[in-house]
Structures are given as C-alpha cells and as structure tokens.
Amino acid sequence: MLTARNVTKNYSNLQVLKGVDISVSKGEIVTIVGSSGAGKSTLLHILGTLDSPTGGEITINGIPTGGLQGKRLADFRNRHIGFIFQFHHLLPEFNALENVSIPGFIAGAKKAAVKERAEYLLETLGLKDRMDHRPRELSGGEQQRVAVARALINSPAVIMADEPTGNLDSRNARELHQLFLQLRDQFRQTFIIVTHNEELATLSDRQLVMKDGKIVS
C-alpha cells in the first residue's frame, strides 16, 4: 500500500535521513519510535508529501508521489492521506461537523454526501451529541477525536499521525489508542504513527526504531 525506497533528506550539509526503506500494508498500524532528532517527524512529513525528499522514491496506492507537484500534489494529498497532529488544528469559528466536512468539500464531493459521512464518523467516534459544538466547547480528547474524523472523511489510503497523544492526559491517550485499533479493525484503516508513547507503540502491529536518520530495527 505504501513503499519508500532509499529515502534521503539533506538540509544544506546536514543529512537528516540516510537511505530509509519502508513497506506498509493496508490495515496495518506502524509506529515509528526513537530519540528526539532521529528523523522521525522528517520522515513522516516526507511520506505524507508535506516535504520532498532529497533522493529516493515513495509510492502510495501504486502512485509514485515524486512526479506530483502543485495542485496535482495537493489533490492527491487531500484524497489519499489523512493527518493527525499533536495539536488539533481545528478551525475555531466552525463546529465539529463543519471542521470534519471541510476536506470533503475541498475534494469536490457533494455536500449532502460529505455531511452524511461526517455525521456517521462523529457518531462512530462517540461524538453524536457534540456535532454542533465549536472547539472551545469540547474537551481535549473530544477535539482530538474530531481531528481523527476529519482525517477519515475522504477515506484515505493512510493516516499519518505525529505524536497524536502528546497533548492528551493518560486517560484520553488510552482512549485514542483503542480508537486507532477500532478503526483498523472496522475500516481496515492504515496508520503510520510517530510517537514517544510506549503504550501506543506496544499496541501497534509493528514498531520501526529510528536512530541517526536510519531505521535500525
């Protein structure tokens, strides 16, 4: 479903990624762990097409991403990749349903279909009674679940998550861990997750350990 071959990344004279190879199957939860500065977030951003590699090849759903630029790249990212970050990045002027719906509208889907799917996702994630609440009216855990629903709205091939529990307390972090497992089982959703959370890493299907810009195990 996703493959990366000999991915490198240089910033001036600093080589951050040193020939990374990854293969991820559909419905797999893969965590990337390692100390700060190992290159985890850089790799995730490159896999998610938010940044470009200096060298190497990345393929998602059989489509090489290296040849995509501008609007074609933005459209590909919107349709095939979902993102969850440590901070929710919800738009404060919109309610939960509207925040979840925005990527679907950007993709050009019919408004009625987008709204129906957004309602379904929010209900599935336990937010049936919170759809009309704005972010400031939601708890941290609820905001992160809205962000998860937003990542799912376009049925992406893969969700990239960068420290998704880093801003949550232990109870909400555990609930989010279980939610990822539920989504994998219910939708065969694929996740690639950068995390320092040992519990989440242990629950994943596979851990990739990074050190000094390489995957070492």
Give the domain CATH number at 48: 3.40.50.300
Full residue range of the structural domain in which residue 186 is found: 2-215
Mean pLDDT of 189-200: 91
Q: Is the CB of residue 189 less than 8 Å from the CB of residue 2?
A: no
Q: What is the pLDDT of residue 12?
A: 87
Asked if 207 contacts 33 with a C-beta cutoff of 8 angstroms, the reply is: yes
The pTM of this model reads 0.92
Rounded CA-CA distance 211/217 in Å is 9
What integer pLDDT is reported at residue 103 of this predicted model? 95
**Residues found in the chain:** 217
Q: What is the rounded CA–CA span in Å between residue 138 and residue 124? A: 17
pLDDT tens, 76-103? Answer: 999 999 999 878 889 999 999 999 999 9
Order the strands of the 190-194 sheet from edge to edge: 81-85, 158-162, 190-194, 29-33, 206-211, 214-215
d(CA 14, CA 18): 10
CA-nearest of 170, 200, 167, 195 to 35 is: 195
Question: 78-82, 121-125, 164-168 — which is least confidently predicted?
Answer: 164-168
- Asked whether residue 175 carries a pLDDT value surpassing 90, the answer given is no
Contacts from 120-123 at CB under 8 Å and sequence distance 24+? 121/149, 121/152, 121/153, 122/96, 122/97, 122/146, 122/149
Count up the domains in the chain and report the number.
Answer: 1
| Summary mean pLDDT of the chain | 93
Measured CA distances, 135 to 57, 102, 108, 143, 144 (Å): 38, 15, 25, 6, 10
Please, which pLDDT band fits residue 105 given cuts at 50, 70 and 90? very high
In angstroms, rounded to a whole number, what is the distance separating the alpha carbons of residues 29 and 183? 10
Q: Which band of pLDDT confidence, cut at 50, 70 and 90, is reported for residue 3?
A: very high
- Cross-strand bridge partners of residue 59: 3, 64
With bands split at pLDDT 50, 70 and 90, how would you rate the model's confidence at 121?
very high
